[in-house]
Amino acid sequence: MRIATWNVNSVGARLDRLVEWLQSAQPDVVALQELKCTDEAFPHLPIQAAGYEAVTHGTGRWNGVAILSRVGATDVVRGLVGQPDFDGVAEPRAIGATCNGLRVWSVYCPNGREPSHDHYKYKLEWFTALNATVESEIVANPDLPFAVIGDYNIAPTDADVWDIEKFVDSTHVTPAERAALTDLEAVGLIETMPRSLKGEPYTFWDYRNGSFHRGWGMRIDLVYGNQAFTSLVQDSYVDRDARKGKGASDHAPVVVDLSFPL
């Protein structure tokens, strides 16, 4: 089985590239983030024509998540246990589904904006809810392969940003954010590290200042899974080619191959 996660930065703007990538990469399950569309506006027909069903959670603002599957999607859950609101809105940032015996969550974690902003506090509260959701699902089905994949908006180590000196007093690298990842590990998740291609591990490059071509990136799109999941991992890599060219998302897909029967 091949699974992947990709922040597409607007599924409408990226639809042609998404369908082309589905046809070339042939993933069985894909977690999408930052749909920027409502559930009603999601392009189900082109996705179905490519061989995938989609379960979505979107309200049309800058958030939204989905899971695409060609091996089924059952037991769908939208939102987290005790998920906090921001400005009175429960943002669509998490969706879970079981795909042929593999439990997958697609997550688009809050950015945080800056450490002094209310959004940063919200980010940490959101991760507390993610932790509670992960723990409840693992306790309920300890032997089920389980993965939480998506845009975490956290660089796990200083090596996961192109120049740590540029991130002084910035989000994505603060001790409290990284502690949220440690909390996930404490309830049973392990990170699957992609092998490095082109000498860099990054998954995101800003559109500005020629960041992609200069190698000014960050590794913030992550794959975490329980032992039952990580024991199945055969390979993992960042598909940098999907970040190239006109009309690309500012993120690249992260692909994981599993020794998991279809």
pLDDT score, position 118: 96
CB-facing half-sphere around the CA of 234: CA atoms within 13 A: 8
How far is Cα of residue 222 from the mean position of the Cα atoms in its chain? 6
Q: What is the mean pLDDT of residues 41-63?
A: 96
Q: What is the mean pLDDT of residues 29-35?
A: 98
Sign of the Cα pseudo-torsion (249, 163, 225, 254, in order) = positive
Say if 204 falls within a structural domain.
Answer: yes
pTM across the whole model? 0.97
pLDDT score, position 61: 82
Q: Determine the residue type at 85.
A: D
Query: How many Cβ atoms are within 10 Å of 90's Cβ, its own excluded?
Result: 13
Query: 34: helix, coil or strand?
Result: coil
For residue 229, which of 152, 142, 170 has the smallest C-alpha distance? 142
* Whole-angstrom distance, CA of residue 212 vs CA of residue 48: 32
Confidence of residue 79 (pLDDT cuts 50, 70, 90): very high
Tokens standing for residue 103: 């439990």
Say if 258 falls within a structural domain.
Answer: no
Q: Residue 34 sits in which domain range?
A: 2-252
CB 254 within 8 A of CB 223: yes
pLDDT score, position 208: 93
Q: What is the CATH number of the domain that holds 66?
A: 3.60.10.10
Say if 261 falls within a structural domain.
Answer: no
pLDDT score, position 198: 64
Return phi, psi of residue 192, to 5°.
-95, 115
* Whole-angstrom distance, CA of residue 100 vs CA of residue 232: 14
pLDDT score, position 197: 63
CB 129 within 8 A of CB 101: no
Triad 114, 213, 171: Cα angle to 5°: 10
Strand partners, 237: 195, 255
Confidence of residue 62 (pLDDT cuts 50, 70, 90): confident
Say if 205 falls within a structural domain.
Answer: yes
Say if 262 falls within a structural domain.
Answer: no
* Whole-angstrom distance, CA of residue 186 vs CA of residue 135: 9
Burial pattern 244-255, b for ≥16 Cβ within 10 A else e, equals eeeebbbbbbbb
Residue-wise pLDDT for 136-192, tens only, equals 999 999 999 999 999 999 999 999 999 999 999 899 999 999 999 999 999 999 999
Residue-wise pLDDT for 193-250, tens only, equals 998 666 678 999 999 999 999 999 999 999 999 999 999 999 999 999 999 999 999 9
* Whole-angstrom distance, CA of residue 11 vs CA of residue 5: 13
Domain count, the chain: 1
Tokens standing for residue 28: 């069985």
Tokens standing for residue 202: 């990054």
pLDDT score, position 137: 97
CB 155 within 8 A of CB 173: yes
* Whole-angstrom distance, CA of residue 250 vs CA of residue 247: 9
Say if 50 falls within a structural domain.
Answer: yes
Residue-wise pLDDT for 112-125, tens only, equals 999 999 999 999 99
